[in-house]
């Protein structure tokens, strides 16, 4: 259950470690550990991307305007939609209930399973996973009782004091004074691989952020791209995880953005909250 397998996760077998990362070698000589050197500019490429983006938006707007009045079909268990259909907005309101701060009460259909998987990926990629009490609460909330009982012990072993120290955290999962530990999962899309009335297999493609933001940080916040696959079961009137696994990618080509300073990252983490994900 991690953003990656670098920090004690199990990779494709279903990893522990909360969140992993890909390390990025930053330009030497910058005044901040997050770097400050801009990569060679590609103004012509950016102009082309802008034009293409406008065209795509126009096409999408036209398609939306000419859309038929029938039901979109997402959320209909009996529909003929293929398992590999792309994630698309359906107008369905996201769940409003929460259990332990985590969205709950998902619809008993394919769309509900996708929303559950996306929100569970966010919870498992959060900083709460690095503290024992909150980690136990997260696991007990989103896994079936049998699965939670099976993995709590191994998870506690994985999030050992030694592991936490490698991330710059103390034994309780707290960062040094004046530093901000960052760990977030940002779902990009979901895909139903299998679905029955009582079970579902859903893949979540996501970008992860992890690292320490602070003046003395040697592990700056970096991004990683992975796919998290969840086996879900309909249990106690909600979707719950029975097993999960991860794999790397697909990762896009890095852009031309200049790396932010540690202060900018810390401020952004404090000011920008997360989302409740729904189709």
Does residue 176 sit within a domain?
yes
Q: What is the pLDDT of residue 26?
A: 38
pLDDT digits over 167-204, tens only?
Answer: 999 999 999 998 999 999 999 999 999 999 999 999 99
CA 265 from centroid of its chain's CA atoms: 18
104 domain residue, yes or no? yes
Which residues constitute the domain of residue 272? 1-23+94-279
Q: How many domains does the chain have?
A: 1
Strands (E), the chain: 98-99, 102-103, 180-195, 199-213, 222-235, 238-248
Low-confidence stretches of the chain (pLDDT < 50) are 1-83
pLDDT at 206: 98
In whole numbers, what is the pLDDT of the chain averaged over residues? 77
Measured CA to CA, the distance from residue 178 to residue 35 in angstroms comes to: 19
Q: Tell me if 210 sits within 8 A of 222, measured CB to CB.
A: yes
Digit-coded pLDDT (tens) for 72-99: 333 344 344 444 566 777 777 778 888 8
In a domain, 35, yes or no: no
Q: How far is 67 from 171, CA to CA, in rounded Å?
A: 55
Closest CA to 107 of 118, 122, 124, 94: 94
Tell me whether residue 114 is in a domain.
yes
Q: Is residue 224 part of a domain?
A: yes
- Whether cis (ω within 30° of 0) applies to the bond prior to 235 is no
Q: Is 147 inside any structural domain?
A: yes
Quickly list H helices, 31-109. Answer: 43-65
Residue 62, domain member (yes or no): no
Is 161 inside any structural domain?
Answer: yes
Give the model's pLDDT for residue 85: 60
CATH of the domain at 119: 3.10.450.540
């Amino acid at each position: 259950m991690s953003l990656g397998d670098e920090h004690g996760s199990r990779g494709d077998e279903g990893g522990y470690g909360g969140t992993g990362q890909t390390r990025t070698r930053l330009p030497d000589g910058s005044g901040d550990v997050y770097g400050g050197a801009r990569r060679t500019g590609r103004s012509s490429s950016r102009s082309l991307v802008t034009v293409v983006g406008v065209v795509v938006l126009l096409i999408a707007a036209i398609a939306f305007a000419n859309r038929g009045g029938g039901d979109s079909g997402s959320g209909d268990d009996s529909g003929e939609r293929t398992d590999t259909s792309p994630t698309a907005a359906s107008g369905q309101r996201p769940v409003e209930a929460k259990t332990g701060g985590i969205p709950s009460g998902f619809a008993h259909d394919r769309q509900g399973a996708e929303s559950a998987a996306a929100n569970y990926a966010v919870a498992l990629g959060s900083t709460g996973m690095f503290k024992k009490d909150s980690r136990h609460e997260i696991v007990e909330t989103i896994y079936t009782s049998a699965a939670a009982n099976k993995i709590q012990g191994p998870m506690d072993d994985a999030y050992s004091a030694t592991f936490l120290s490698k991330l710059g955290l103390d034994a309780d999962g707290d960062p040094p004074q004046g530093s901000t530990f960052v760990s977030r999962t940002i779902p990009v899309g979901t895909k139903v691989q299998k679905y029955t009335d009582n079970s579902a297999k859903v893949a979540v493609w996501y970008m992860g952020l992890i690292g320490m933001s602070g003046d003395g940080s040697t592990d700056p916040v970096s991004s990683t791209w992975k796919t998290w696959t969840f086996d879900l079961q309909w249990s106690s009137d909600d979707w719950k995880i029975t097993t999960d696994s991860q794999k790397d990618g697909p990762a896009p080509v890095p852009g031309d953005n200049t790396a932010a300073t540690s202060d900018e990252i810390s401020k952004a983490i404090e000011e920008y909250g997360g989302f409740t994900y729904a189709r």
